[in-house]
Chain A
Amino acid sequence: MKDALKAAQDAIDQVVLGKSHAVKLALTCILAKGHLLIEDLPGMGKTTLSQALASVLGMSYQRIQFTSDLLPGDILGTSVFDRNSGQFVFHPGPIFAELVLADEINRATPKSQSALLEAMEEGQVTVDGATRPLPDPFFVIATQNPVSQGGTFALPESQLDRFLMRLSLGYPSEKAEKSLLLGDDRRARLDRVEAILGHDELRRLQALVPQVNASEALVDYILRLVNHTRNSDVCAWGLSPRASLGLLAAARAWALLEQRSYVIPEDVQAVLPSVVSHRLRAANDPAGHGGDSLALWLLNEVPAV
């Protein structure tokens, strides 16, 4: 089954070229049952990555393009009067998919954003008084564009905290881009991707994650990291317990992807930048985009053993 994980990873790498680390992190995120926020410029392969993930994992896929006039109903679905039956019939919104891509989440109004974020948190939606469960597995990939911020509603810290990881794909290497240009159409490649992991297998893998051994020494390391952000004047505020839980879950999932039954400090170090960077803000940086360098600073400051 662990080989299936490797195969899934390879299959996505076939589509998203030269981004194996980001792909691995995205898989880690799914295994740790967390949601993913991708922050990058347009055209960097955010959609491709999410589509490839959906295909490989055999998930149903929906995309919601967030705009400023998007209403909660457009996400969750509405009840429409059916003349034939004389009753209101619920038409589920795009949220009722296993993998939802919320594109440019920061373009929507806070009201619509919170509809999505509530669904992410609760695993269910309530429309017209009726509570409807979301499918399982349920995984949200939200994207936002860090550059053009005009007319957007930046996610507040409390909502950023709902995402287990924040990734940034970045430009591909020259080699990867060359093979991208020389190769097939991406659509054609995507179509060729087959489901490698079924829902049952994914669920079983997700259940394996908490069983990965995190020793006392390792937990101490995570505590050192978290406490350092809380006690240092460099950070505006420290990491929350949700963040340390997320860090441990992500490190376990990463260890699982590394085919190991225990977590070592390197696993924590691998996932830490994407897990904590959107949760940290430098004390002297009111804009709050220095999270990545803070994560590196943190790793360099705290002894691993």
Chain B
Amino acid sequence: MSAAGLIPRNSLAWLLTAQVVVLLPHLPRLPWWVALLWVGCALWRVQIQRMRWHSPGILLKSAALVAILLGVFLTQGTLLGLDATVMFLLLLFMLKLLEMHNPRDALVVVYLGFFILATAFLFDQGIPLTLYQCGSLLVLVAALVGLQQSAGRNDPARALRIGGVMLLQAIPLLLVLFIFFPRLEPLWSVNMPGGSSKTGLSDTMSPADIANLARSPELAFRASFDGEIPPLSTLYWRALTLSRFDGRSWSQDRLLNNLPALPLDTSGESVEYRVVAGASGQHWVYSLRGATTDNPALRRMHDFNLQSIAPLNSTFGYRARSYVNVQMQAEPLSKLERARQLELPQQGDPRAREWAQALREQHPDDGDLVQAVLGYFNQQPFFYTLKPTPLGEHSNDEFLFDTRRGFCEHYAGAMTFVLRAAGIPSRIVAGYQGGEVNEQGGYVLVHQFDAHVWVEVWLAGRGWVSVDPTFQVAPERIEQGLEEAVRGEGSFLEDSYLSGSRYRGVTWLNDARLAWDNVNYQWQLRVLNFKGEEQMGLFRRWLGTADWQRVGMVVLGLAGGIMLLQAMWWLRPQRMNGSAQQRVWKRLDQRLARLRLQALPGEGPRAWQQRLQVALPAQRSVIDSFFDEFVRQSYAATDSASKADQQQLQQALRALFKVIPRKRPASASYLLQDGPLSSRDKSL
């Protein structure tokens, strides 16, 4: 058991520090007993170090393994998945403390620490964590350095200093690798961390769903435009279309969704923009009407929306171009599609159906009918509210004719119902409307409270046409945003006291919020999203090709060049300062430092000579002749040393180099602890 003491005290202190630093970002996601377990393990390890306690036996260790497996299962409900495996790894990382018998085990712990540092980025890739992890990296490297230091060394700051210098030296290499290293898609698919309960749109919509979403100040995505930002009131960000109604809620029509995408006329006016979307765990992405994209990770859908092939489990950026005035599906609908876009439940909402029939008789033209419904919303006393009255069985009937209080989903839902009942193919489009312009960054921020649904109607010869019943009731929602629309009600973000968006009125606070958001956006755009197409584009611009072979050669060349430069700096010759004698002295000093016989601080030539005579008795005559020559030239001569003198001294030095041993003999005990000064003190 005494072997446990083999890890130097200094190194253990560094190791424990590194563990705390690495574990800290994970702790908020883990139950409280994890921290307690670490404290226990650390305490035990310290007691082992002090030789008070023994290392745990095989039985205890096995029991601990079972216990932590059980703990992970009870906490996460599974042993698979990202959260559970990372938690398991963290627990093993802690327990490894008790199994650390020699420096090699300690090395394993540090290497594990590097791995755990990387796992933190699976959960968060923001700037604060990145900065923090830079610090963690420094501590880990310091721990690594500390492990290589001799047991006698007791200067923790030295390890930190060396580690810092090493990391600074690595920065050029880091930049080269950041730019050139291929971002491989993971070989396995990692599930969304945190149980995938993200705020955001969902593929079904019941009354009050969007109203609930509109209470959230979370960011949905950011978009920047090539050229000027279009007016916010025209920014209808589509995410998905809902075509199936079961009497209560609207959902996606999977059958229609899987039909092939329709051609798009790309000759008209277009806007190009770039979107960086947060992780939603869903497939859909956000685009304006008539969107196309070159991004191979996206595809165009039958309903003219864009979708990601893989779910968005992390921040995802893409470019898209929208032909805003294009006609969508101008040719007649297929029989199947027409049927499904008209489908309604057999039962329910009799008054709405009746009204639809009445309208049909009144307006044989589809366009007129749509205008009539919009007019109804406009003229009747409808009220736009985040707190609608709860609706009963016949939700559309009650809303249209009784309560008349609702959020966008009520208007869009009721209108689509009525239009379908009147025989006009129509569907609901869910997405976001408007946003907030960040002047500093020149981009649009879209929050969850910008969530919106509107209606798309198919009109013969014009294709799918968007109509927004909400605009008829509360035009300020479209023109100025939700905050203005519900100002009288005071319900804007009323539960989110800490949200910056709630305090837009305070100018400096708002400026600071937007500035910070801009920093984050640039980080996501330029650092996190620098992969795939972005990277390839850069290669093409710089190297004229994105061929991996060529890129690999450039990387190797650059990395090799950087390391060569660093090595040259490191191995640079000592500067030629001082006199010829001083340089000779320095060379001898460096050579003898290997034998730990270097000149002591302030030691004069004769004192050093005496010490060397004792230490290397066999080489005494050579030592004496060197020092005699040195003293003669430096001090006895009345004029400065001639060329011949210098050569003579060089020769004496070479003669000395020849005879002194290469390495310090193992048995050598000649390291004098006393300097030249203390020996003089005795005589005083």
Q: Which of A45-53, A176-184, A190-198, A213-221 contacts B (4 or more CB under 8 A)?
A: A213-221
B566-596 CB contact bits vs A (8 Å, 1 = yes)?
A: 0000000000000101100100000000000
B603-617 Cβ-contact flags toward A at 8 Å (1 or 0): 111110000000000
Chain A interface size, under 10 / 10 to 19 / 20 to 34 / 35 or more: 20 to 34
Q: Is B604 touching A264 in the complex (CB atoms < 8 A)?
A: yes
Per-position binary interface string of chain B over residues 666-683, scored 1 when its CB falls under 8 Å from any chain A CB and 0 otherwise: 000000000111001101
B635 and A269 form a contact (CB under 8 A): no
Q: Would you call A304 an interface residue if the criterion is a C-beta within 8 Å of the partner chain's C-beta atoms? A: yes
On whether the beta carbons of B636 and A261 are closer than 8 Å, the reply is: yes
The answer to whether A22 touches B579 (Cβ under 8 A) is no
Q: How large is the interface on B (under 10, 10 to 19, 20 to 34, 35 or more residues)?
A: 20 to 34
Question: With A and B bound together, what is the CA distance between A20 and B680 in angstroms?
Answer: 12
CB closest residue in chain B, given A302: B602
CB distance from A81 to the nearest CB of B (A): 52
Cα–Cα, bound, A261→B601 (Å): 26
Q: Is the CB of A264 within 8 A of B605?
A: yes
Would you call A264 and B602 a contact (CB within 8 A)? Answer: no
- Are B634 and A266 in touch, CB under 8 angstroms? no
B638 part of interface (Cβ distance < 8 Å): yes
CB-CB under 8 A for A264 and B680, given A217-B581, A301-B602, A304-B602: no
Chain B contact residues: helix, strand, loop or mixed? helix
Q: Is the CB of A170 within 8 A of B684?
A: yes
Q: Is the CB of B605 within 8 A of A269?
A: no
| A137 interface residue (CB < 8 Å to B) | no
Contact of B635 among A217, A270, A300 (CB under 8 A): A217
Q: How far is the CA of A218 from the CA of B605 in the complex (A)?
A: 12
Q: Is A21 an interface residue (CB 8 A)?
A: yes
Q: Is A237 an interface residue (CB 8 A)?
A: no
CA distance A265 to B640 in the complex (A): 17
A254-305 with Cβ < 8 A to chain B: 261-266, 269-270, 273, 296, 299-305
Is residue B36 within 8 Å, beta carbon to beta carbon, of the partner chain? no
Known A-B contacts A215-B636, A217-B579; A265 and B684 likewise in contact (beta carbons under 8 Å): no
Q: Is the CB of A269 within 8 A of B680?
A: yes
Contact partner of B631 (CB less than 8 A), chosen from A22, A264, A302, is A264
On whether A213 and B585 interact (CB within 8 A), knowing A264-B631, A266-B606, A304-B602, the answer reads no
Closest residue of B by beta carbon distance from A215: B635
A–B complex contacts, Cβ < 8 Å, 11 sampled: A213-B638, A215-B637, A217-B581, A217-B634, A264-B605, A264-B631, A264-B635, A265-B635, A303-B601, A304-B603, A305-B604
Seed contacts A217-B581, A300-B677; 20 additional CB < 8 Å A-B pairs: A213-B635, A213-B636, A213-B638, A215-B637, A217-B634, A218-B635, A262-B635, A264-B605, A264-B631, A265-B604, A266-B604, A266-B676, A269-B676, A296-B681, A299-B602, A302-B602, A303-B601, A305-B582, A305-B585, A305-B634
Q: Please report A residues at the B interface, Cβ cutoff 8 Å.
A: 20-22, 170, 213, 215-218, 261-266, 269-270, 273, 296, 299-305
**Sorted from nearest, which 10 A-B pairs have the closest CB atoms?**
A265-B604, A304-B604, A262-B636, A266-B604, A217-B634, A305-B585, A300-B601, A299-B602, A21-B683, A300-B602
